[in-house]
Structure formats: C-alpha cells, structure tokens
Amino acid sequence: MAKEFQHSKRIFINNIDSYSSKYIAKYLSTCAVGGSLEEDEGEEENKVSRKDENVEDDRFQIVGTVRNENEKVKSFALEEYSALSRDELLQRLMECDVIVYNISEDAEVTDEATWAVSALHSEMEHFRSPKMFILVSTVMTWAMTKPADPDDPEVPLIEDDFRRKRPHPSFKEQASAEKLVLKLGKTKKSKLSTYVVAAGLQYGMGEGVFHYFFKASWLGELSSVPVFGSGANITPAIHVYDLACIVQNIIDHKPKTHYFIAVDDSKNTLEDIVKAISYVLGPEEVNKVSRDDAHLTQELTQTDLDQLSLNLRIEPVLLRDMFNLRWVCESGIIENIDSVVEEYKQTRRLLPIKICLLGPPAVGKTSVAAHLCKHYKLHHITVKEATEEKIKHLEEMLQQSDGENENDEALKEAQELLDSLKDSLSQRGDQLDDENVLRIIREKLNSKPCRNQGFVLDGYPITYEQAKELFFDEDMEKDPRSKLLPHNKKIIPEYIFSLDATDEFLKERVRNLPQSVAEEMHYTQDEFLQRLSTFREANTEDDTVLNYFDELEIHPEHIEISNIDDTENRAVIEKIIEVVGGAMNYGPTQKEQAEEERKRAVERHQQLIQEAAEMELIEAVEKARMTVVLEEWNKNVKEVKKQEHELLETRSIPMRHYLMKYVIPTLTQGLLECCKVKPEDPVDFLAEYFLRNSSED
C-alpha cells in the first residue's frame, strides 16, 4: 500500500498565509500519507512527528502560494511561491499530486481556481500520474436554498439536495466554480479526479470570521459584545482542523462521491455562539445591533457580514459513512468553547502577563507599576483603588435596583458586604481588615480583564500568610510527590520584583516630595517612619512574602535603587522590561496608532521649530560676530593707512626742503622769463635757461 500512497505526497494549497488555508496546510503537513485509512487508534497514528527522520518521507509535502512574500517561510511548507505568472503557476501545479484551492475565504481567488482546474484539465494527456483537484468552497452557495421539507423547516438539507441548492447573491461565482470543478472531473477520472467541499463558517486556532467577537471579548473595552441582526439565524460552522481532516480523508480515500458538506453537528444560532464567547472570554453580556449599523464596524468586511447573517440548517451525511474522521469539535463551538478560547489565546499569543511589585514605602512601586501597565497594557491593582472600585460597584448595583426585588438574595449580600466594608474603613482609619482585602483582591485577580491581559499587583500581599491565603486553591489536588503549596495557577504572578533601597535614600526621597503629595500618600514624617519600620520588621523573619514565592519556585528578582536623580525609576523599568520581555497583546489600536502618529508629528514640528530657532540664533550670533570683526578690520585698515600717510609725510620733508632750496627758486625764475619772452618752444627755452644759469653759478 505504501507504493500507492507514494502518488499522493505533494500537495499544492493556495494562499497558505491566510487563515483557513494556513491551518489546512499545517494540519496536512503533520499527517502520514494514508493515515486516515486506518481505524482510529489515536491521534498519533494519524500524525507524524517532525523529529522522526525515518518516517519523514511518509508525510504529505506541502507547497503553496503566499500573498505576502515578505513574511517568513512557513515551517510546514516545503516551498512557497509568490507573484507567479499563470504559466509559472501551471508548471508548479503539474509537479503536484493534489491541488487544493480554497475559495471559502476570498472570492477573488475563485477566478484563479477555475482557471487552474481548466488548465489542468487541458493538460491531462501530459500527466505522469493521476492528479486530484479539491475545491474548498462555502455553504454560502446553499444560502438561498428552500427548506428540505416546507412543512417542517427544521429538517436539514443534505448532500442529496445538491442539485436544487441556491447561492447567496454575493456567492454566485463560487457556485459556478463548484459546478465547473465537478463537470471537469467527469471527463477522465483516471487522470483527473475533482472534489468540492462546502465548508461551514470556520472557527478555531487564531479565528477567522468569528475573530471580531473573540477580540471584542478579550479586549474588554465594551460592556457587551454586539450581535448583528436578531441573532436567531442558524449558523453552520466547522473547526478549521476538522475541515482539514475532511480534506485529508478525501486525499486518502479517493471516494466515488465528489461533493461533501463540511459542518459540525451543532445547530447553534449566531446569538448563542457570541454569548458563549462573551461568557468565557468577555463581559458575559451581548447586545443586538441592527445589520445597517454593522456596516460601521471597520473590522468586518461585507463578506463577513454576509456569512454571519446566514440562516441555514444543513447536515453532512456522507462524511460519517465514508470517512474515518478524528473530530476536534464534532459537537460544535459552544460545547467546546473552553478549548476553542484556549486555542485562540495560544495561537495569537494573547497570554496574560502577571507581575507583582513588592518593596518598602516610597521605593517607587506605584510609578513603576503605572509605567509597566502602560507599556504592556495591563491592569494596575492596588488595595486602595480596588477597594474604592468595589464600593462604587456595590453602590451602583444597589441604586440600579431602586428598591425592586428587595428579597433578592444577591442584593442582600451586596448590601451586607457594602456595610461591612464601610464599617471596617471607619473603624480602622481608611484601612480594611485582611479578610475583606483578600476577598476584593482575589476577585479582582479573577476578573476577565486580569485573566485576559494580566496585571501588576502593587505592594500586596505584604506577609507570608496574606500571600498563602490570597493564592490558595482549594480545588487543586495536593500532589504527594510535590513540595509546592496548593496555589491558583490562574492568578499567581509569574514575575516577582522586590524593589529596595537604603532607609536614608528613602527618607531623602520623601523629604524631596511636595508637602501636598506627601500628605496624599501618607508620607508625612511620622507616618512614613512608622510604615518603613513596619515593613522592615515584617521582612526580617524567615516566613516573609518573598519566601512564599520562593517556595513555589517563583524566584523574586531583587532590584536595588540608589540613584536619587532617577526620580522616574527609568533604570528599574528598563530592567523589568528586559526580564519580562515583549508584550502579549494586539498591539496599539488604530486610534492609539493615530494618536501616536499625531504625537510624533507634533514632536517633529516642534523639533523643526526648535531647529529653525536655533539656526536663526546661530546666524544672528554669527552675523553679530562678523559685524564686530568687520568693524575691527575697518578700524585697523584706517589706522594702517594713517600710519602709512604719516610715514610718507615724514619721509618727504627732506625732499621738500631740497626742492624749496635748490629747485623751486630757479624753476620759478625760468617760468617767469618764459612768460615774458613767450618762445615757440617753451621746453627748449627752459632747458637753455637752466643750462645758462647753471653755467653762471
């Protein structure tokens, strides 16, 4: 049989970086060829370990196209292709034994899928071995089909009703593609066999069409999760790995039937599905929103809204008769909501970060906690704020009841608790007794927001006994082989940071606080010294709160603070972020990104203004300097010229004296004589005159 399997090893899947195709490809990459032909003897019989090199050749080899060529290569894919021409793509398809085209998510792929099956059909004579083409379509091609029994609308449609199915108006192309695939598969089945799988709305792993509801619930920003329309519509669905298992069975079994419906056994309404998601992951409330308003939701496309409005009773019959399915969620999403939610969290790495900050008063726990909460999007828990929040919640709860249902047990308990909290605060000077504090903090830690995103527990618990009581889990079975104390793993912090500083450092820090801040934080001299002394005494024994975490093998990270100038504790924050690592959330929202971009734009604008002002100042200073230099230069030049003039004057005095004594008198007489005589050639006259006088002299 191994030789027969050898013909179905290389599988092409389109868009293996999209939700549905990715998990189909990932699932098939772990499956042994022919694995679904054996009777169900456990999941491991069907899947092949990647570490086992001896059986690597028996595993399906996955190749496929990707839309985003910049993404890292998928570990489950042997080859990835992007931006191929149709000739290049056909060449790749010809190299494969099985071609899977998934059009259940994206209608734009339908044209390529119909081209691919047509191109393969035209090349059948050149096939070296038989090929199989599987079209993963959608039950939206059944959306407008009339009920199987007009008198009993609860009778579901089945595969036998295929010929009278009617598609949703937006899914006519997919319906045409289904017909074409089935038609081309009838020509020469020994060369090209074709199959169509009409898949329900897919869920599981990182989530697809239902992702909006998971995300809205996990974020906890809404008081209730919206349900679009009445929510009474029956929503056929299937776990994405169950869909992948059906594809695997088709590849292995090569059935004679060529059209399959792929949905689970559930007949859940959309409202029930959203309620289940909200109950486990979110605020436990839903509200109905009109379909017109649903278009305002930017995270849902028109295709998503069309699928979520589907109302269809449909049931697969052939799957159970023909295939050996190993269901992940046979009974549907609601029955398996806990495991589906856990898949969602693990796949998207939406894991809570749980931090506890401990240390003496004024060491900076609260400011550090606030920064960490902003950086990681966590919830800041202090005894004071948690108490105030609880009291406010109880008061609002009682006010909303407005005297109605006075006998309601929950209202009575709320009133008793509120009275107890207020009495304790009044008797103990704004401080609660340990029992009430433990109850409030434990409730806060168990809240959905803290369970989803995580928290920073600020300055509590203080003692070993408080920690033991706070994190105790009575449902946890004591393992006789384990030395660990029973504790609630869902709320126990993963990271313990013990901040510390010398008493002198802390006193100096408090002295530098404004009086109003010191009074608000109870850091006046007497109060602070008393609190500091109490803390030191509580942490000198062997059974400190840090010892409790050590016993659970959650070893505290000790951070010493000594820089008085680092008022914002930046060094501490950087150290903690280095230990904790990256955030595990959705990252910034569009609004936060826009706000961050706006801040960056303002900062850039201010920087440009500052740079322009600095440049203007530099130019003004340089201009003033050059003016002074020029004035000094001109002054020096003037002085030099003056000195040169004086020097020339001094040097010319002997010459003038000589001329006045020996030249000027004779020259003057000669000129006078010349004027009297008025000779024709005055120059010759003067020359003769000077020679004559010279001879006489």
pLDDT in tens, 518-562: 777 767 777 788 888 888 887 877 788 899 898 888 999 999 888
> What's the pLDDT at 405?
57
Rg, Å, the chain Cα set: 45
Q: Is the pLDDT of residue 75 over 70?
A: yes
Average pLDDT over residues 604-611: 90
Tell me which amino acid residue 85 is: S
At 479, the pLDDT band (50, 70, 90 cuts) reads low
> What's the pLDDT at 575?
92
Q: Is the pLDDT of residue 5 over 70?
A: no
Angle formed at CA 332 by CA 293 and CA 449, multiple of 5 degrees: 60
> What's the pLDDT at 73?
60
The answer to whether the beta carbons of residues 334 and 273 sit under 8 Å apart is yes
Of residues 355 and 598, the one with the higher pLDDT is: 355
Sequence-separated (6 or more) residues with CB below 8 Å from residue 360: 499, 500, 501, 506, 532, 535, 536
Q: Is the pLDDT of residue 7 over 50?
A: no
Q: Which residues of 90-99 are buried (b: 16+ CB within 10 A; e: fewer)?
A: bebbbebbbb
> What's the pLDDT at 423?
79
Sequence-separated (6 or more) residues with CB below 8 Å from residue 205: 19, 23, 240, 241, 343, 344, 347
> What's the pLDDT at 48?
45
Tokens found for residue 54? 């001896």
Angle formed at CA 70 by CA 68 and CA 74, multiple of 5 degrees: 80
At 258, the pLDDT band (50, 70, 90 cuts) reads very high
CB atoms under 10 Å from CB of 167, counted, come to 21
Angle, in degrees to the nearest 10, between helices 525-538 and 503-511: 160
Q: Give all domains of the chain, ordered by start, each with its CATH number.
A: 2-200+237-265+312-328 (3.40.50.720), 353-378+453-580 (3.40.50.300), 590-696 (1.20.890.10)
pLDDT in tens, 148-163: 888 888 888 888 888 8
User: Alpha helix locations (H) across 123-220?
Assistant: 172-184, 211-219
Q: Is the pLDDT of residue 108 over 60?
A: yes
At 696, the pLDDT band (50, 70, 90 cuts) reads low
Tokens found for residue 461? 């618990």
At 371, the pLDDT band (50, 70, 90 cuts) reads very high
Average pLDDT over residues 366-388: 92
**Global confidence as pTM:** 0.79
